[in-house]
């Protein structure tokens, strides 16, 4: 809980940097890179290979001490390299530019992203928590193969950090959100039922885990384009916080209780259901991508953040 309290604000604040520094045409790509690339390349791809090997060789307690080193390095880099963005150039106004939380959640995209985040973060957390157990205890893979399959998720998410948000800059946020949430169903179903080669299982997991690439869109990019980007730290905190509290903590606890009662496979079915529910919810999002908004007759030539009181898409 102490680690979470310290770690929780990092991503919303990081996304506020990205929103302030990005051009509208590259906002999706840049915010996806900030949220997913480094964390998944090192934390999800490299870490399972290294930490599992160290735990097998020296014990899991020693491996936890080594896991602290990247955090200390990150703190040093933030302190020495990050400069404060000039947010004031976006908000040279008075009290009328403040937006209370109750006003933010009146926007359809904001509360939809909050609900979608609950299911997508639950999907994500159930994958990290229960896939290793399914591989070892249900599929009877060795711990080494399990670590390889888990590292595939990190590699996929690192690629998805470019592919999914980058495509959303070109074809729109909504189509990528729908596709990403739907393809997420592939991960639990393949992990549970694929009977072919482990290599092909890795390919299926790679494709399905690209769904992780929509998380920056729903947690930061779409909210920052729905209301003025200067509020992105608050809106991203709302969306991510609700997803973590209900989806990650509550979802993992509920799935664990279900696994105790009905067996490990039920966790994969819950994971797949989370992706399906998220897919249905994405159908009701308003489009916010600048390339789409500029093509709309009513919005051509208008800045996407022009009026904080008018919900984008209405």
| CA neighbor of 220 nearest in space, from 204, 205, 237 | 237
pLDDT at position 303: 36
Query: Tokens standing for 199?
Result: 């290599």
Q: What is the pLDDT of residues 87-115, one digit of tens each?
A: 544 443 444 467 788 888 889 999 999 99
Convert 27-52 to b/e letters by CB count within 10 Å (16 or more is b): bbbbbbbbbbbebbbeebbbbbebbb
Q: In degrees, to the nearest 5, what angle opens at C-alpha 308 toward C-alphas 314 and 115?
A: 65
pLDDT at position 87: 54
pLDDT at position 144: 86
pLDDT at position 313: 42
Rounded distance between C-alpha atoms, residue 212 and residue 210, angstroms: 5
- Does domain 7-84+101-293 bear CATH number 3.30.470.20? no
pLDDT at position 106: 86
Residues of the chain with pLDDT under 50: 88-96, 297-314
| CA neighbor of 256 nearest in space, from 278, 234, 271 | 271
Rounded distance between C-alpha atoms, residue 203 and residue 206, angstroms: 5
Three-class DSSP labels, the chain:
CHHHHHHCCHHHHHHHHHHHHCCHHHHHHHHHHHHHHHHHHHHHHHHHHHHHHHHHHHCHHHHHHHHCHHHHHHHHHHHHHCCCCCHHHHCCCCHHHCCCHHHHCCCHHHHHHHHHHHHHHHHHHHHHHHHHHHHHHHCCCCHHHHHHHHHHHHHHHHHHHHHHHHHHHHHCHHHHHHHHHHHCCHHHHHHHHCCCCHHHHHHHHHHHHHHHHHHHHHHHHHHHHHCCHHHHHHHHHHHHHHHHHHHHHHHHHHHHHHHHHHCCHHHHHHHHHHHHHHHHHHCCCCCCCHHHHCCCCCCCCCCCCCCCCCCCCC
Cβ(184)–Cβ(211) under 8 Å?
A: yes
pLDDT at position 40: 66
Rounded distance between C-alpha atoms, residue 84 and residue 81, angstroms: 10
pLDDT at position 163: 87
Query: Tokens standing for 233?
Result: 């730290």
pLDDT at position 97: 65
Cβ(239)–Cβ(107) under 8 Å?
A: no
Question: Residue 256: left (phi > 0), alpha (psi -120 to 50), or beta?
Answer: alpha
pLDDT at position 229: 63
The structure's pTM equals 0.76
pLDDT at position 236: 80
Rounded distance between C-alpha atoms, residue 166 and residue 27, angstroms: 9
Structural domain spans, the chain: 7-84+101-293
pLDDT at position 123: 96
Cβ(243)–Cβ(100) under 8 Å?
A: no
């Amino acid at each position: 809980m102490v680690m979470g309290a310290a770690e929780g604000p990092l991503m919303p604040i990081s996304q506020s940097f990205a929103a302030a520094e990005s051009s509208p045409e590259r906002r999706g790509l840049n915010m996806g890179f900030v949220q997913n690339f480094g964390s998944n390349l090192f934390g999800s791809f490299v870490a399972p290979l290294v930490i599992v090997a160290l735990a097998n060789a020296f014990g899991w307690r020693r491996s936890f001490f080594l896991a602290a080193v990247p955090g200390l390095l990150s703190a040093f880099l933030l302190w020495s390299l990050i400069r404060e963005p000039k947010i004031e150039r976006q908000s040279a106004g008075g009290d009328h530019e403040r937006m209370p939380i109750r006003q933010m959640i009146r926007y359809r995209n904001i509360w939809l992203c909050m609900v979608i985040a609950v299911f997508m973060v639950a999907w994500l957390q159930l994958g990290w928590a229960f896939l290793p157990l399914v591989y070892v205890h249900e599929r009877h893979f060795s711990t080494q193969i399990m670590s390889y399959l888990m590292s595939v998720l990190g590699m996929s998410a690192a690629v998805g950090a470019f592919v999914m948000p980058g495509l959303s800059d070109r074809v729109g946020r909504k189509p990528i959100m729908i596709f990403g949430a739907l393809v997420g169903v592939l991960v639990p179903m393949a992990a549970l039922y694929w009977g072919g080669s482990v290599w092909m299982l890795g390919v299926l997991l790679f494709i399905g885990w690209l769904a992780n690439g929509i998380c920056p869109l729903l947690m930061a990019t779409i909210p920052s384009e729905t209301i003025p980007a200067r509020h992105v730290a608050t809106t991203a905190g709302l969306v991510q916080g609700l997803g973590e509290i209900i989806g990650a903590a509550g979802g993992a606890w509920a799935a664990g209780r279900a696994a105790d009662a009905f067996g490990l496979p039920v966790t994969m079915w819950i994971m797949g259901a989370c992706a399906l529910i998220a897919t249905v919810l994405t159908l009701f999002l308003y489009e916010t991508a600048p390339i789409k908004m500029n093509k709309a007759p009513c919005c051509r030539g208008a800045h996407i953040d022009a009026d904080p009181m008018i919900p984008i898409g209405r």
